[in-house]
Amino acid sequence: METTATKRRDNKKSLRVKVISLGNAEVGKSCIIKRYCEKRFVPKYLATIGIDYGVTKVQVRDREIKVNIFDMAGHPFFYEVRNEFYKDSQGVLLVYDVGLKESFDALDSWLGEMKQEMGSQANMDSIVFVVCANKVDLTKRRVVDEGEGRLWAESRGFHYFETSAQSGEGINEMFQAFFSSITDMCENGGKRPVSEVSVGFTKEQADTIRRIRNSKDSWDMLGVKPGATREEVNKAYRKLAVLLHPDKCVAPGSEDAFKAVVNARTSLLKNIK
Ligand code: GTP
Ligand code: MG
């Protein structure tokens, strides 16, 4: 016979959580969930109409977690349906297609929509975010590289995974990390554990790397006006070198950014008397 003590212990061990999926239409949100829950891939595009709901049970350490998954439609048309479902989420899957830059650029506006709909409840520190760079199997059409995606995610304290719903790459690892972080957060009184938030690099470093990646020429990269003097170029270079030197900066993409800055300085100095 089950004792009260056993029941109490079992209650403590089981946990119910709510997760949602976000991202542009057709990036693969439903397929990622299907790959994990049903171990299969559907090549034909079947747009989610409003919301799909499902429940799955997972085991994290000694706890059984009942996960309620709300798979959102990405199409703007379904905004009115989606907005009801943001509240009370403990986990968010943010998905983009590595072959579509606009789906990556849209991640900020997805976070914006979420914050707006959650209103005063919008405490983003009490939610675990996982960014899925999806469709990595389609290597030839890839336009958003790993460094760029990882930097966006990790500079916000989010997890980053490269996934393919088609091949299954990264899917189980991603969900395991996702559920285990949600469990850690629940056991930590609803706060994301500090170790995940501190990523070892600063926002200034992340923003600078992003700015360097998007710069249009060498002047722009060094942050000086076209026609700047040698002295101005060298001063700007020194500042960036201190910020991004690979010995000091562990942010994803810092090495490439540092090399780009060195090259930009060399090419500018060649042409300045
Ligand atoms: P909405 O429900 O409209 O928001 O779209 P969604 O993000 O749920 O996209 P869905 O999962 O329906 O997938 C869209 C299309 O991309 C489908 O044709 C899938 O077969 C395809 N797809 C999804 N994931 C992958 C992947 O990892 N690799 C490849 N090659 N195709 C994928
Ligand atoms: Mg869908």
Q: pTM of the full predicted structure? A: 0.80
**Gap between the Cα atoms of 18 and 193, Å rounded:** 18
**Gap between the Cα atoms of 250 and 230, Å rounded:** 29
Q: Please identify, in words, the CATH class of the domain defined by 15-188.
A: alpha beta
* ipTM score for this prediction: 0.99
The residue whose CB lies within 8 Å of the most ligand 1 atoms, and thus the one to mutate among 20, 30, 31, 49, is 31
| pLDDT single digits (tens) 237-260 | 999 998 998 888 888 888 999 999
Kindly list the protein residues whose Cβ atom lies closer than 6 A to any atom of ligand 1.
23, 25-31, 42-48, 73-75, 134-135, 137-138, 164-166
| pLDDT single digits (tens) 15-29 | 999 999 999 999 999
Which residue is listed with tokens 């798979």? 71
Domain 203-271, classified CATH 3.40.50.261, yes or no: no
Q: Kindly report the backbone phi and psi dihedral angles of residue 251, in degrees, each rounded to the nearest multiple of 5, phi listed first.
A: -65, 140
Q: Who contacts 227 (Cβ-Cβ below 8 Å, separation ≥6)? A: none
* Contact (CB, 8 A) for 219 and 225: yes
Q: Which 3 state secondary structure label does DSSP give 135? A: coil
Atom of ligand 1 nearest to the CA of 164: 27
As averages over each run of 10 residues, the pLDDT of the chain (273 residues) reads 53 83 98 96 94 94 93 94 90 98 97 87 84 98 94 91 98 96 88 61 88 93 94 94 86 91 94 83
What tokens were used for 102? 């606009």
The residue whose CB lies within 8 Å of the most ligand 1 atoms, and thus the one to mutate among 22, 24, 26, 92, is 26
Task: Determine the distance separating the centroid of ligand 2 and the alpha carbon of 79, expressed in angstroms.
Answer: 14
Q: Where are the domains of the chain?
A: 15-188, 203-271
The full length of the chain comes to 273
Residue 171 has a pLDDT of 97
Q: Who contacts 136 (Cβ-Cβ below 8 Å, separation ≥6)? A: 98, 142, 162, 163, 164, 169, 170
92: left (phi over 0), alpha (psi -120 to 50) or beta: beta
